[in-house]
Amino acid sequence: MLKVAIRGLLAHKWRLLTTFLAVALGVAFVGGVLVLSDTMNKSFDDLFADVYRDTDAVVRSTETIGSDFGDVRAGVPIELVDVVRAADGVAAADPSIEGYARVVDKDGDPVGNPAMGAPTFGGNWTDIDELNPFDIVDGRPPEAPGEIVIDRGTAKDAGYEVGDRVTVQTQAAAEEFEVVGIAAFGTADSPGGTTYVLWTIDEAQRLVGEPDRVAAVAAVAEDGLSQAELAERIEAALADAGAERVEVLTGEEITEETQTEIKESLGFLTTFLLVFAFIAVFVGTFVIYNSFAIIVAQRTRELALLRAIGARRRQVRRAVVVEALLIGLVGAVVGFLGGLGLATFLGDFFDLPPGSLAVLPTSVATALITGVVVTVASAAVPAWRASRVRPVAAMRDVSVDTAGESRIRLAIGLVGVVVGVTAVVVGAVGGDLPTVGIGVAVVFLGLLFVSPGLARPVSRVLGAPLARLAGATGRLAQVNAGRNPKRTSATAQALMIGVGLVSFVFVINSSIRLSIDRTLEESFTGDFVIDSGTFGVVGLPPQIADEVAELPEVEVVAPVRWSPAFVDFAPGEGDEGDLGDDTGVAGATAGAFELLDLLVVEGDADLGPGEVVVNVDTAEDHGLGLGDEVRVSFLDDRRPEEARVARVAGIYDDTRAAGGIGSVVVSLDDWSAALPNASDIQVFVQLADGVSVAEAEPVIEELVEPYATAEVQSVEEYKETLGSQLDILLNLVIGLLVLAIVIAMLGIANTIAMSILERTRELGLLRAVGMRRRQLRAAIRWEAIIIALYGTVLGLAFGLFGGWGVVRVLRDDGFTEFSVPVATLAVLAVLAAVLGLVSAWLPAWRASRMDVLDAVSTE
């Protein structure tokens, strides 16, 4: 039977071309993502192995705090640098200071964007070679304030050379420096595309550090001393000096820890991409299933003959499974090779060093097994059906796949859809997200069951205008699309998944945008927002707010800050050493509450020194009332613990607006006392009476001109900025779903091509009685369009409903509005129809070229 399977495969290899492509594309995506992930891990492993190669020990704080952007670690008191240097066994030690800094290019635009790509760092140059991964390739190291070394990548990007005067913006300021040297990172221009500005230690501390703190201290051991011994000796020296909350890591430990951290953060990217890879694979299963189902139906007589001459059911089944196995294997191998190409391409995109793909056996195995298992599993039902062919079918007339809709199936599906829809509605109204999620999944499964039953009526409806407009060709397309409901629906389902997800994302995006717009329109009473253009990743120097406040055109300036902090909601005796929970804390003035139209329900939001304002939820959760004490401690908080206690002076309602400012709002005076190098995330500006936006904009623009990252935005522009943040994600997700849609289109081409084969005689008859070639082509294309539209309609219904459920359930989390992007979705539907048309192009062309006589006389 193996021979039969292989012969069978070879006999209709062209029929399996699309199956092969569906497997290969899915596996290429999966394999590409895995290889890319391995490669990135490897290159970062190498990178950090390089960075820490000669570092033997690192001293750092044990104090960390969780935030949305990863853990933040406190600094080390600067006096410990000398303690480490003096420790027994230390050959050399230098502090390391690192923070946000961006070089401004000759056009005044900042180089790189930490919100969109590799970080932009500023730090200290160290003269200890072992601790310095950089090598000067031009000029010299910085020796005095006002001098910098920049990495070669930045120098190339911005066109800077030694001797140029360059503006560098940090969180705290924007200043001009002289480039005295250009450094390379080993053989690379910069480490993984990261930009670097390197100052003397004092300058680095002033610009990106704290006056009396450094991020860490790195040390090199004397010859012959192991890393572990060195660490022990440094620990002892630190203990003698009475240092608290610091730890010593060996060079190996810090290398490994950094590598692990990077792997974890890359893991999110890998998982994110893999989700879409598996969606593509899942869509592929429909195509594979359909191919085998059609092939089995078309080979009924052959299979029956095999059975009649003595093949056992098991043998027939195995023949089909072996076919699937072979096609799956070939598809997976070719797909994986394609995945290597994809990984190379994406590697270039992410600036990975060329020619260094890391292909791990586990990735190869995962990708290949995925391809083979998916193909065989998809062919399982057709294989089973093949084994049910009765020998007597061999004696019957030509048999075509006429499997109709099963009533039981339809009933199960309808029940599923009804139950799912009910769950979504109940969950959405009741604010229960898991119920909505389950409901959406049930609706999806229900649709899979229902859609064969709907294929005929829906194609009748979709085709009705066609039959009227396009006459005979339209009428034929209409009836043909509904002819094999299972086939049509499996084809359409593949498209439904892609279209459903895309429309879901569009609905969510459009709803968020509308919600933001409405919220701003209703509650924001200011005229401008000054923003860093990094989605809050880094802030703006506070001077901006101060300078803008002095303009006569301006009435209110409201800077807002944000930071992770420890908050103890009930400071009291007996909790020394316990700083409280990790909580995001905002800093603001009364102006922010005014411009954001936030309702202060108790007390006031004047936010004098020693006062905090909390939102209603926080007050409720922690039983806070006016006058109650809370203690807010920042990392590296410069205030003594007793000075961190503040009184609740106001409680505000943030449920009406989109989120408010934050759960705990601290006064700017307290903030600055705690963190002298603080920066503003955003600055809201309201103009004085009688000053127009048009008048004020150039004045403010001119004022912030020296701060390259500051963007002055009117409310309209600000809406657009917020919206465009979402668009980046939207475009990414849609880009990743394109493959799923392409595979679905392959499925349409596949179904059409195979159906045509089945209808050879019928098409020949049509041609014999006078159907012109272009009429035939038109009929086939229309059929494909009907199938594509059917999938689109299912997908839109699913996407819109799922979108509604999610938006409704998240109403209290900022999704105040539900919005359907009608025009976009209409374009999507048209696009799907066009893609259906395109996918039928080749089969239609081939069908129209067939020999009429051959077709009519084909058995």
Shortest Å distance, C-beta 765 to other proteins: 7
- Angstrom distances, CA of residue 632 to CA of 354, 610, 639, 834: 48, 10, 10, 59
- Angstrom distances, CA of residue 359 to CA of 33, 34, 45, 344: 11, 9, 15, 11
At 642, which amino acid appears? E
Taking the least distance from each CB to other proteins, the nearer of 485 and 539 is 485
Taking the least distance from each CB to other proteins, the nearer of 628 and 762 is 762
Contacting other proteins within 482-501 (CB under 8 A): 483
Sign of CA dihedral 760, 761, 766, 771: positive
If one asks whether residue 479 binds other proteins (CB under 8 A), the answer comes out as yes
Closest CA to 154 of 190, 180, 187: 190
Alpha helix positions (H), 584-714: 590-595, 616-622, 668-674, 693-704
Shortest Å distance, C-beta 761 to other proteins: 5
At 408, which amino acid appears? I
Cα 126 to Cα 132: distance, rounded to the nearest angstrom: 6
* Binding-site member from 132, 344, 370, 480 for other proteins (CB under 8 A): 480
Shortest Å distance, C-beta 456 to other proteins: 11
DSSP 110: B
Shortest Å distance, C-beta 787 to other proteins: 15
Shortest Å distance, C-beta 397 to other proteins: 9
Q: Which stretch binds other proteins (CB under 8 A): 163-171, 239-247, 289-297, 757-765?
A: 757-765
Shortest Å distance, C-beta 473 to other proteins: 8
Q: Which stretch binds other proteins (CB under 8 A): 339-347, 471-479, 535-543, 662-670?
A: 471-479
Q: Which stretch binds other proteins (CB under 8 A): 24-32, 411-419, 467-475, 670-678?
A: 467-475
Helix (H) or strand (E) holding 776: helix 773-809
Q: Which stretch binds other proteins (CB under 8 A): 73-81, 258-266, 514-522, 767-775?
A: 767-775
DSSP 533: S
Q: Which stretch binds other proteins (CB under 8 A): 100-108, 443-451, 561-569, 770-778?
A: 770-778
Helix (H) or strand (E) holding 475: helix 433-481
If one asks whether residue 403 binds other proteins (CB under 8 A), the answer comes out as no
Size of the site for other proteins (CB under 8 A): 22
Shortest Å distance, C-beta 483 to other proteins: 6
Shortest Å distance, C-beta 479 to other proteins: 4
3-state DSSP assignment of residue 577: coil
Cα 785 to Cα 466: distance, rounded to the nearest angstrom: 11
If one asks whether residue 757 binds other proteins (CB under 8 A), the answer comes out as no
Helix (H) or strand (E) holding 178: strand 174-185
If one asks whether residue 768 binds other proteins (CB under 8 A), the answer comes out as yes
Contacting other proteins within 609-648 (CB under 8 A): none
* Binding-site member from 582, 604, 628, 762 for other proteins (CB under 8 A): 762
Cα 738 to Cα 744: distance, rounded to the nearest angstrom: 10
3-state DSSP assignment of residue 144: coil
3-state DSSP assignment of residue 310: coil
- Directed axis angle between helix 407-430 and helix 433-481, to 10°? 140
Shortest Å distance, C-beta 853 to other proteins: 5
* Binding-site member from 301, 317, 767, 808 for other proteins (CB under 8 A): 767
Q: Which stretch binds other proteins (CB under 8 A): 28-36, 173-181, 240-248, 472-480?
A: 472-480
* Binding-site member from 765, 831, 833, 837 for other proteins (CB under 8 A): 765
Shortest Å distance, C-beta 471 to other proteins: 6
Shortest Å distance, C-beta 480 to other proteins: 6
Taking the least distance from each CB to other proteins, the nearer of 700 and 771 is 771
Shortest Å distance, C-beta 771 to other proteins: 5
Rg for the chain, CA atoms, rounded? 33
If one asks whether residue 852 binds other proteins (CB under 8 A), the answer comes out as yes
9-22: b (≥16 Cβ within 10 Å) or e: beebeebbbbbbbb
Q: Which stretch binds other proteins (CB under 8 A): 255-263, 418-426, 474-482, 813-821?
A: 474-482
If one asks whether residue 856 binds other proteins (CB under 8 A), the answer comes out as yes
If one asks whether residue 582 binds other proteins (CB under 8 A), the answer comes out as no
Q: Which stretch binds other proteins (CB under 8 A): 186-194, 529-537, 698-706, 769-777?
A: 769-777
For 73, how many CA atoms within 13 A lie in the half-sphere containing its CB?
16
141-152: b (≥16 Cβ within 10 Å) or e: bbeeeebbbbbb
Cα 283 to Cα 742: distance, rounded to the nearest angstrom: 10
Cα 754 to Cα 291: distance, rounded to the nearest angstrom: 8
Chain centroid to CA 549 = 38
If one asks whether residue 853 binds other proteins (CB under 8 A), the answer comes out as yes
Cα 224 to Cα 219: distance, rounded to the nearest angstrom: 14
Site of interaction with other proteins (CB under 8 A): 471-472, 475-476, 479-480, 483, 761-762, 765-773, 775, 852-853, 856
